[in-house]
Amino acid sequence: MFTEENLLPLSGLQHLLFCERQWALIHIEQQWEENRLTEEGRVLHDRAHEAATETRPDVVTARGLRVRSLRLGLAGQMDVCEFRRTTPEDTGAIKIPGRDGHWYPFPVEYKRGRPKKEAWDEVQLCAQALCLEEMFGARITFGALFYGEKRRRTPVAFDPALRAQTEWLAEQMHRLFESRATPPPVYEPKCANCSLSARCMPALPRKPAAVARYVSNALRSGEVA
C-alpha cells in the first residue's frame, strides 16, 4: 500500500505506455514541451472541466473529480464521471450523500483525434475506474472515451487483460520513479509524433566514437555551422 505522499500522476500511465523515456523526461526530469497535438488535447480537457456538476433525473455528471488509489499508488483528476441511476443489485451500485437511490459511476475521458491502435487511452480510463472502485467499494465494468475528431463516445470494457496491463504499468511506473534513471532513447517511427523529440534527440548516436562520426559528417554536409 502507498501513502498519499508517494502517489504518482495517473496521467503518466499513457506516457509510460507510449515510451518509458518520454515518461521519465516528463516525470523524473520535469521536462515538457507543448506541440500542436498536446495543445489541442489540453484545450479539449479544459473544456471538459469547464462546466459545473449537472443533474438530470437519472444522471449526475461530475467534472474534474479527483480520484486516487493507495493500492496502485496513483492519483488524478477525471474529465467526467457520470453517476447513473441503477438498482441495488448492480455490483457497481453506490450511494451518493444527499441523494436517494443507487448510482453507477461511469468514467468518461476526452481525447483529441481519433481512437488509436494502442491502448494508451484505455489504460488511463481503466486506471480511473480502478481508483473509483477502491474509493467507492464498487465494481466498475464500463466507461467511455470521447474523441474530438469523431465527436462521439467509444465504449471501453474494463476486462481482466486491461486491468492487468494497467496494474503492471502502475507498478513499473513506481519502479522507474524509485530508480530515478531515465532510459536511453530507442529511435522508432512514433518519435516523429513525440512532443519531446527535440529534447530527447533519439536519432543521435550515444557512443563517443559514433557521436564524433555524426558531428564530422554533419560538418562536412554543412548541417552544423
User: Least distance to ligand SF4 from the beta carbon of 200, Å?
Assistant: 3
Out of 37, 157, 186, 224, name the contact with ligand SF4 by CB under 6 A. Answer: 186
Nearer to ligand SF4, 11 or 197 (CB): 197
The reply to whether 200 sits near ligand SF4 by the rule CB under 6 A is yes
The CA distance from 44 to 12, in Å, is 18
Q: Dihedral of the CA atoms 182, 166, 68, 3 (nearest 10)?
A: -60
**Nearest CB to ligand SF4, comparing residues 19 and 132:** 19
Instruction: List helix spans (H) across the chain.
Output: 12-18, 20-27, 36-50, 120-136, 160-179, 197-200, 208-221
With CB under 6 A as the rule, give the number of residues binding ligand SF4: 13
Taking a C-beta distance cutoff of 8 angstroms, is the pair 45, 38 a contact?
no
Q: Which residues in the 120-179 window bind ligand SF4 by CB under 6 A?
A: none
Q: Is 78 in the site for ligand SF4 (CB under 6 A)?
A: no
Residue 35 Cβ, how far from ligand SF4 at the closest point, in Å? Answer: 11
Residues that bind ligand SF4 (CB under 6 A): 19, 21-22, 25, 185-186, 190-191, 194, 196-197, 200, 202
